[in-house]
Structure 1
Amino acid sequence: MSTIDLNDPGAFAKAFKSPFSENCDSACCANIDFYKFANGKWLQNNPIPEIYPAWGSFLMLRDVNEERCKNILTSEWNTTPHENKMHQLCKRFYDAFMSEDKIEEKGYSPLSPVMSQIDSVSLNGLTELIVDLHSKYGVQVLFSYGDTIDKKNSDQTIAGIYQAGISLPDRDYYFDEDKKEKCELFVGHVKEMLELMDVEGAEEKAKVIFDFEKAMAEKFMTKTELRDPEKTYNIKTISDLTSLCPGIDWPLYLRTIHSVPASGSVEDAVGMINVATVAALSNLGALLTSTPLSTLQTYFKWKVLHSFAPHLSSPFVLSNFNFYSTHLAGTKTLKPRWKRSMSTVESYLGESLGQLYCSKHFSGDSKPMALSIVESVRDALKERLNEVEWMSDKTREAAMEKMKGFRVQIGFPDEWIDYSFWDGKITDDHFTNILTGLSFEHTREIARINKPTDKNRWYMTPQMVNAYYHPSMNLICFPAAILQPPFFDAEADLAVNYGGMGAVVGHEMTHGFDDKGSKYDAKGNMENWWTEEDQKNFEGRVEVMVNQAEKFEVLGQKLKGKLTAGENLADLGGLKLSLRALKKRMGEDNMKSEASKIDGFTPMQRFFLSWATVWRQNITDERAKQLVTIDPHGPNDFRANGPLSNMPEFHEAFDVKPEDPMYKPVEERVDVW
C-alpha cells in the first residue's frame, strides 16, 4: 500500500508531516467543523484502499510498519546469533504461510483429527473435549479460561472464566432489530462453510448453531456492563462452579488443563478463580442440561472451522472474508497473502519480530524526548489535581499518590519473551506451526496462574501503533512504533508533538482517573479511595460527558454515552493536560504570538491542528455502524471535535463565537480533569 521509500528514514517522516495548510479545507471554517477544516483536503485525496474498511493516521502508520517488517523477513539478516535465530524463526513461519500451493492442496484436511474427535465424543467425554479445544486448538467454545490479575491484590495473578463462544461481534447482534439482516447473512455464511466441508443438512445445522449461540448470548453482559470492574469480580470455588454450571466436570477440566497429576490437589494448583460473568456461566449450565449432544457437536465443529478458516484453502478463506470483512465492515478486497502472513507472525511470534524491528527501526534516540513529554504531562496532572475544587483533601491525597505511582514503559521490553519453546518445532507446514503457536501461548498463560504477577510484562509488541493504560499495574505503555509522525517527531516543533504524543500520554494518564480506572488505587488494586461526596461529584461530571456523546449520531445510530465515557474522558483530559504542559514549556504568550507562527498558524493553533490530524480517517458505512455497536471509542470526527468544544483555549485560538456550531456554552462544558 505504501509509496514511501522504506530505506529512507527521512522519507517516512516527511510523508506524515506536510504543512497543515496542505491538508486544511478553507471551504470549511474552523468554527463550524474543525475536523473537516483541519483534514478536508486530506479526506478528499485519500480514499480507502480496497483491502481496508478505513484509512487514516493509525492505519497508514500500521501499513508502513507492516511493510517494514516484511522487508526484514524477506531480506538477509546477519547481526547477533540471537537476532539471527529470531529472524530464522519468523522467516520460516512466514514462508510456511506463503506456501499457498501446499495449503490449497490440503483443503480442510488439517481439521480431520479434531472433527473426528468431535464426532466420536459422548456426554461423558464432553469435558475432555472442551479442554482439548481450549488448550490444543485455541478454540473458545462455550466459555474462555485463562489468567487475570487479581483486581483486589494486583501482586497475584489468578484464574479467570469469561463469557465467550459466540461468532458475531457482540451479543447485541443477536437481539437488535437493526441487526436482523446481519444475522440472516451469518446463517448463510455458516451454511456455506459447512457445505464446503461436505456436511449434510448444512442449512438446518446453520440455524441450530445460530439459535444455540443466541441462547448463550442472552445472559451475556453488555459491553457497557463489562466496563464495571466491580461487577466482573466474583471469586468462586470449584464447588461453586459445579453448582453454577453442572454440565461441565470442573475438577476434571481444571486438573487436565493445568496438568495436575492424579496425586496432586487441583485446588492448590489453581488457586483463586474469578468468574467475570456469573449469569452467563449459570445460563450455560442450564443450556448444557437441555441441549442435545448432536447440537453441541455441530456447534463445536462450526467453532473449529470458524477459528481456523484463515489458515485453510481459499474457499474457506474467501467465505470467511466475505462475511466478516465485507458484509460486516465493508472491505472490498482480501488482503494480499503476504499481509495475512505478517498478521500471523505478529500473532504468534510478536516479540520475536519486535526484536528485529527495534534493531532495524528504533535507535532509542527518541526515548528520552518522549520520556520528557511524559514527565511534563505528569507534572501538569499534579497541578490540575491541586486545583480541582470539587475534590476533598482526603481524595486529593489518594489521587496524588496514584499519579506519582504511574509506571512508564517506552519503546520495547527490558526482557523479551523466551522463544526457546520453538526450538526444533518450526516446520514448513503452516498448520503445524499454528498448533505449535497455540500450544506455546497456552503453556505460557496457564503458567502465569496462581503465581506472582509479572509487573514487567508488555501487553503490546513494539511494532504496534498504539498505547495503553493498565489499571491493575497503574502503568502506561508507549510502544516504539507510536514514537513516529504524526504522533511524535524529534524534528517537529513542541506544539505539534504535544498535540500528538503529548495528548496520547495525557489520554493514557487520564484513564487512571476515568469511570473505570478511578476504581483502582496507586498499587493497581480495586479499592475505593473516594469520599462519598467526591464520588457523587465525579459521577455527575461524567454524566455531562455521557449526555454530550449521546447527542452524536453515526448514520442514524446514537453514540453509546456510557460505553464511550472512559475514552471520551481520556481524550478531553489528555488534551487539557498536554496543553497545560505545553504552556509551561513555551509560555502562554509565546503560544499566541504572531512572531511564533509556522505555516501561518500560531503554536496554540498548531497544537489543535496536530490533535485533529491524528484522527483523520475515511471509513466505510458498514464499519462505522459496526463500531458504534461494539467499540468503547467514539468515531474519529467526534474524538477530534468533541474535546475542543469543551476547551476555552480552542474557542479563543480560532475565534469561535456563541452562534458557531463548534461553540459550547460554559455551563454545558465537561470539567473533570
Structure 2
Amino acid sequence: MESEEHNQTDTDSITVENAGEAVQIPLIYMHSHHPTKPLENLCKDPNCTMNTQGKSTIASTYIPQNTGPTYQFQPDSRFNDSANTVNQLDRFLEDQKELLSRIKQINSYEYADVDVLSSVSQQHNRVASSLNKSIERRKEVPKPIDFTNFNFAISTGYSFYKFVNGSWLEKANIPSNCSSWNCYDELRSRFEPSTQDMVWDYIDKDYEETALREYYLSAMNEQLIENEKLNPVIDDLGLIDSIETLDEYFGLAGQFAEQFIMTSLFFVYKFPTTPKKDGDMEVVMLLQDGLGLPTRNYYIHDHKFGKVDGYKHYIEKLFLASGMSQADAKLDTELVFNFEVGLSEIMEPIENLCRHTGNNIKLSLIDLKRICKVVDWNVFFKNSGVSEEAQVVIEPKPYFTKLAGLVQQTPLSTLKKHMKLRYLTTAAPFLHKEMQIIHFEFHDKLLHGVQEMQERWKTAFQWVCDIHDLVNLQQLFSNNLSTHFYEEFDTLSEVMDKRFKSLSWISEESLQNAKKVISQFARGFGHKNYNSLSSLEGKIIHSNSPWTNYKLLAKMVVFPSSFYHRPTVKSQHQTISRILYNSIPMLFFPLFYDCPPFFYGRTNDKLLGEPAFNFGAFGCVHAREYLSVYHASYVRFNRKGGLVDWISEKERAHYEKQIETISQQIVAWSSTDLTLNVKLIASQLLADLGALSIAYEAFQEYKNIHGSKVKPSTYLYTVEQEFFISWARISRELVTKEHAEFDSETCYHAPRELRVDIPLSNMIEFHKAFSIKPGDRLYRPPHEIVSLW
C-alpha cells in the first residue's frame, strides 16, 4: 500500500546557539527504505561544532519533534553574508519548516510551533537578511529539491514518481488556458512577463530582428484583425475555387506546403543542409496526412472517443464563417467527413510507423511517380520549393500505393472542399475572433480539455519563433555557462561512445555501422533557424494581417543544418527544444533545457545547483534523444537520405525481444482506466531506460573526476539519490482527461508515471541507492530486468 513509507519514528533534537542564547529544535527521524547516514555528516559547515547524543545515524527524511543530539552554531565570523553560511542555515531552516508542515498534514501529530524556527533566524539579523535574499533568489530559480512537493506517505519502493511529486500533483492546478502542466510549462511561465519588454528592444536592431517585432505587432493589432475579417484569405480561397484539374489541385497544394499550410493528403518535411557540404543532399519526406481528427482510430472507433459529432459541428461552423449558406455548409460537411473516413481506411496505424517495419522507403522521383501516378510530382515539388536533386522518402508505402485509387474515385469538387477545410483550419487562429473561437472550441477544448483561450500576447509570442526562449537565457546566464555546461555535456557524450563499444549484443561490424550513423548525426544549439530575412525587408510590417506575415515568414524557415559546435556568443546559447526528425538523425538544442530545473549552471561564479541534478535532468534528456536515433524508424536513415540498416537481423531480434519484455511490464504496471497503445510507447520507454543508465554512468564518471567537489545539495540525500530525484522531478505532469486520451493515441511516450517507475524498476543502481528490496513494487529480480543499452 502507498502508506508503507512510515514504519517507525525516533525522536531527537538540535540546539542552535548564538551569543549565549540557545534554542532547541526537536527532530523526528523516519525509518524507511532510505539508507541512513552518519549523524556527523548532517552539517557540512567546517566551523560548526556538533555535540551528538543518542542516535548514531540519521535517516534521509527528518522533521522537527523532540529531544536528542545537539548542534551548536557558534557566534563567530560565520555570521556574515557569506554564501556558505547563508546557504547552510537557510537550507536547514527551510527544510525543517517544509518537512514539519508536510508531516503534520500526513499524520496529524502535535509538534513544536513553527514559530520556534522563525525565532532562530530573527536572532541572527545579518543571517536573516541574507536568508530573505536567498528565499527571493529561490523564487526566481527552482530549488534542486523542494520537499513541499514530496509525498512522504508513499514508499520509494512503491512509486518513486509519486514519492517525489505526490504533493505537487495534489496541489498544482492546470491553468485554464492549458491542457497540461509540467516543469517545462512552469519554466516558460515564470519568464513570460519579462518577455513582453524584449520585443521593443528590436526597434533599432537589424531587420532580421525588426521583422519579428513587426510580426508581433501585427499579431497584437486586434482592431485591424477584426476589421479585415476574411480579407487575408479571400485570394487563396479563390485559388481553391478556381481549380479545374487534379494537376492544378496538387500544384496549389505544393504552393501552400511551401508556406507550411498543409492542405494536401500528405505532410511534407523538407530538410535542406545549410551550408551544403560535399555529398550532402536535400531530403524531402512525405507522410500520410489529411485527417482532421487526431488519428484513424477516431473515425473507426467513435464509440470509444466520441469526437465525430463535435468534429462535424466544427467543420460546419468553419464553413459557415467562411461565407457558405447553412444548406451548403451542412452538405459539404458530410462530403468532406465521408472522404476523410475513406482516407483513414487506407492509412497505416500509427504504431506501425514507430517500429522498424519497412514502411520508410527511399525512392527516386521515377519510382514515386510509379507508385502514386495521380500526382504530378514535378509540379508539386517545384511549387513547394523542393529541388529536383532532392532525395525522396515516403512513409508508409502502402498508403501512397492506395492513395491514387481513392483520389481517382473522389469528385474533384470534394477534394477542393477538403482543401478549403484544411486551409481554414491552419488560418483560423490568425483571423478574426469568430474564427479563433471556432478553432479553439474544437482543437483546444474538445480534443484537449482547455477551458479558455490564452491571452493574446502569449499567442503572439508563440508565433514569433519562440523569442521568449532567447530572453530567458540572456537573463539567467552569463558566458561562463558554456564551460560548465559543455564539461558535463562532453562527459555524457564520451560515456555514450564507450557504452556502445561495450554492448555485447552488437557485433563489431554493426558497431562500425553505428559510428557511421553517428558521424552523420547533426547536433547543434540554437532556436528555430531562418534563412536571411533581408529579402523580406519592408514586406513584414505591422500594418499587415498576421496571416499575411505568417505566410511570408514561413517560407524562410529552414530545419537546422548539420553542425555541432560550441557557441561563444551569449545570444547563441539557446538551449534544448530538441528536434529529432524521422528522415535524418538530427538533434537540435534550443533554449529551455539549459535552465533550472533542467540544468543548473553558474551565474556570477555562484553555483546554482549540483551536477547530480544536471545529469538526472538534462543528461537524461540528451541521452534519450541520442538513443532515439537508433530506435524504431530512426535507425534506417542517415543525413544523406540513405536507408541504413545498421544492425543485423539477429541483433534486431534481440532488440525486439527487449521491446516485448518491456511491453509486458507496461501491461502489468498500468492501473489506469486509460487504454495505452503499448506498441506505440514501448520503444521510447526502452530509450528512457537506456538514457537513465547512460546518464547515471556519466554522472559517476564526472564524480570520479571532480571528487569531493561533487556534494549533495541537501543534508538528506546522497548525490546518487539526487540524480534519480532529478529525473522524477522534471518528469512530473498534470494533464486533462482529454489530453491524456489524445496522447494515448498519438504520443510515442508513455504517461509520466510509467516513464519514471518502469525504467527505475529495471535499474540495479536505483535499487541500491534507495534500498529497494524484494516485495517492493519497484523491485525486479535480475532475470526480469531489461537491459539493452
Whether these two folds match at TM > 0.5 is yes
Which whole-Å CA distance do the structure 2 matches of 1:405 and 1:298 have between them? 42
| Bigger shift: residues 396-405 or 472-481 | 396-405
Choose which of 772, 777, 787 in structure 2 pairs with 1:661.
777
Q: Is the 8 Å Cα contact of residues 353 and 633 (structure 2) preserved in structure 1?
A: no
1:328 Cα deviation (Å)?
Answer: 0.9
Could you tell me which of 435, 455, 464 is aligned with 2:562? 455
Deviations 1:628-669 (CA, angstroms, capped at 9, x unpaired): 110011111111212110011212222222212222232221
Equivalent position amino acid for 2:238 in 1:
S
Aligned residue in 1 for 2:236 = 114
- Deviation string 1:306-353 (CA, Å, 9 cap, x unpaired) is 11110111121111111111111111110111111111112xxx5x77
Of residues 62-71 and 516-525 in structure 1, the stretch that sits farther from structure 2 once superposed is: 516-525
Paired AA for residue 108 in structure 1: L
Matched residue, 1:234: 361
Give the CA deviation at 1:404: 7.5
Which residue of the partner structure matches residue 134 of structure 1?
257
Aligned match of 2:165 in 39, 48, 55? 39
Deviation at 1:10, TM superposition (A): 7.8
Task: Give the drift of 1:100.
Answer: 0.9
- Structure 2: distance between partners of 1:246 and 1:362: 54
* 2:504 counterpart (386, 389, 395): 389
* Higher deviation after alignment, 132-141 or 109-118: 132-141
Match of 2:489 among 374, 377, 381: 374
- Write out per-residue CA displacement over residues 556-604 of structure 1, whole angstroms, 9 at most, x where no aligned residue: 233223322332122111111111122223259989x9x9672411111
Which of 237-246 and 484-493 deviates more?
Answer: 237-246
1:321 paired to 2:443: no
Query: Residue 183 of structure 2 contacts residue 733 of structure 2 at CA under 8 Å; is this kept in 1?
Result: yes
Kindly indicate whether residue 412 of structure 2 is the aligned counterpart of residue 297 of structure 1: no
Per-residue CA deviation, residues 375-401 of structure 1 (Å, 9 max, x unaligned), is 212232344334433333443454466
The answer to which of 608-617 and 171-180 deviates more is: 171-180
Is 1:147 equivalent to 2:270 in the alignment? yes
The 3-state SS of whatever aligns with 1:25 is coil
Contact 1:163-1:277 at 8 Å conserved across structures = yes
Match of 1:273 in 2: 392
Residue 590 (structure 2) aligns with: 479
Structure-2 residue corresponding to 1:421: 535
Q: Is the 8 A contact 2:620 2:727 kept in 1?
A: yes
Are positions 1:564 and 2:689 aligned together?
no
Is structure 2 residue 643 aligned with structure 1 residue 526? yes
Amino acid at match of 1:187: K
Alignment of 1:57-68 (within 5 A): 57-68=183-194
CA distance in 1, matches of 2:760, 2:250: 54
State the distance in 1 between where 2:658 and 2:290 align: 37
Match of 2:758 in 1: 642
Q: Does the residue aligned with 2:225 lie in a helix, a strand or coil? A: helix
Deviations 1:598-624 (A, max 9, x none): 241111111111110001111111111
Letter in 1 for 2:335: V
Contact 2:176-2:451 at 8 Å conserved across structures: yes
SS at match of 1:558: coil
Map of 2:578 onto structure 1 = 467
Write the distance in 2 (CA, Å) between the matches of 1:423 and 1:168.
38
When residues 209 and 284 of structure 1 are mapped into structure 2, their CA distance, relative to the original with a 3 A threshold, is same
Provide closer, same or farther for how the CA distance between residues 146 and 437 of structure 1 changes in structure 2, counting only shifts above 3 A: same
2:232–2:547 CA contact under 8 A, matched in 1:
no
Residues 9 and 174 of structure 1: CA distance in aligned 2, closer, same or farther (over 3 Å): farther
Larger Rg: 2
- CA distance in 1 between partners of 2:206 and 2:336 (Å): 46
Q: Structure 1, residues 90-128: CA drift from partner, whole Å, max 9, x if none?
A: 222111111112211222233222223333332364344
Matching residue of 1:203: 330
Does structure 2 retain, via aligned residues, the 8 Å contact 1:499–1:578? Answer: yes
Report the AA paired with residue 121 of structure 1: I
Residue 670 of structure 1: aligned partner: 786
SS in 1 for 2:599: coil
SS in 2 for 1:55: strand
2:627 to 503, 510, 531: 510
Residue 489 of structure 2 corresponds to residue 489 of structure 1: no
Q: How far apart, CA to CA, are the structure 2 residues paired with 1:404 and 1:298?
A: 46
**Counterpart-to-counterpart distance in 2, 1:133 and 1:102:** 24
**Which amino acid counterpart does residue 539 of structure 2 have in structure 1?**
K
2:219 counterpart of 1:104: no
Aligned residue in 2 for 1:629: 745
Could you say what the CA RMSD is over the residues aligned between the two structures, in angstroms? 3.5
Counterpart of 2:554 in structure 1: which amino acid? E
**What amino acid maps onto 1:534 in structure 2?**
E
CA contact (8 A) 1:471 1:524 kept: no
Partner secondary structure for residue 621 of structure 2: helix
1:212 correspondence with 2:327: no
Amino acid at match of 1:367: S
Describe the SS at the equivalent of 2:630: coil
**Once the two structures are superposed, what CA deviation does each residue of 1:250-277 show, in whole Å capped at 9, x if it has no partner?**
4444455559xxxxxxxx8355433333
> Measured at CA, do residues 534 and 241 of structure 1 come closer, stay the same or move farther in structure 2, by a change above 3 Å?
closer
Instruction: Determine if contact 1:463/1:479 at 8 Å carries over to the other structure.
Output: yes
Instruction: Give the 3-state SS of the residue equivalent to 1:275 in structure 2.
Output: strand
1:336 to 450, 455, 469: 455
Deviating more after overlay: 225-234 vs 39-48: 225-234
Q: Which range is displaced more, 105-114 or 335-344?
A: 105-114
Letter in 1 for 2:460: S
Alpha-carbon offset, residue 52 of structure 1: 0.5
Q: Which stretch of the first structure deviates more once superposed, 320-329 or 378-387? A: 378-387
1:496-540 deviations in Å (ceiling 9; x for gaps): 222112222222232233344444579885323334433322322
SS of the aligned residue for 1:188 comes to helix
620-629 vs 36-45, greater mean Cα deviation: 36-45
**How many residues end up aligned between the 2 structures?**
636
C-alpha spacing 1:515/1:271, structure 2 compared with 1 (3 Å):
closer
Structure scoring higher RCO (CA < 8 A, sep ≥ 6) equals 1
Per-residue deviation, 1:554 = 7.2
The match for 1:185 is: 310
Taking a change above 3 Å as real, the CA distance of residues 611 and 528 of structure 1, as seen in their structure-2 partners, is same
- For 1:463 and 1:86, the matched residues in 2 are separated by 17
Distance 1:631 1:233 in 2: 19
Contact 2:263 2:419 in 1 (8 A): no
CA–CA distance in structure 2, aligned partners of residues 306 and 59 of structure 1: 25
Whether the 8 Å CA contact 1:469–1:509 is kept in 2: the answer is no
1:223 and 2:350 aligned: yes
Task: Select the residue among 651, 664, 672 that pairs with 1:547.
Answer: 664
